[in-house]
């Protein structure tokens, strides 16, 4: 949550995000594209608690605030 934009934190449940991150085994992060200075397309590979493999594919938008990059929003991609 510390890397999420302060104005967006109210829309996220810290406990749920932390639990989701911890129950999955994250195996790889692939940066697919960087279409602009504030956007990154990535694929995060993980195995869920039942052993199924998944890919979280997202185009994320960031904003610079006081010399730090913060997550603002993301679009899920297939």
Instruction: State the CATH number of the domain containing residue 40.
Output: 3.10.450.50
Report angle CA 64, 10, 73 to the nearest 5 degrees.
45
Whole-number pLDDT of residue 21: 75
Whole-number pLDDT of residue 64: 92
Strands 53-65 and 68-76: antiparallel
Structural domain boundaries enclosing 35: 9-76
Q: What is the pLDDT of residues 43-74, one digit of tens each?
A: 999 999 999 999 999 999 999 999 999 888 88
Whole-number pLDDT of residue 56: 94
- Structurally, the chain folds into a number of domains equal to 1
Whole-number pLDDT of residue 19: 78
3 found inside a domain: no
Q: What is the pTM of this model?
A: 0.76
Total residue length of the chain: 78
Whole-number pLDDT of residue 54: 96
């Amino acid at each position: 949550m510390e890397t999420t934009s302060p104005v967006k934190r109210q829309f996220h449940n810290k406990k749920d995000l932390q639990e989701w991150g911890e129950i999955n085994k994250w195996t790889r992060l692939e940066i697919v594209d960087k279409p602009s200075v504030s956007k990154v397309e990535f694929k995060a590979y993980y195995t869920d608690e039942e052993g199924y493999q998944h890919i979280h594919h997202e185009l994320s938008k960031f904003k610079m605030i006081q010399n730090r990059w913060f997550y603002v929003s993301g679009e899920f991609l297939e």
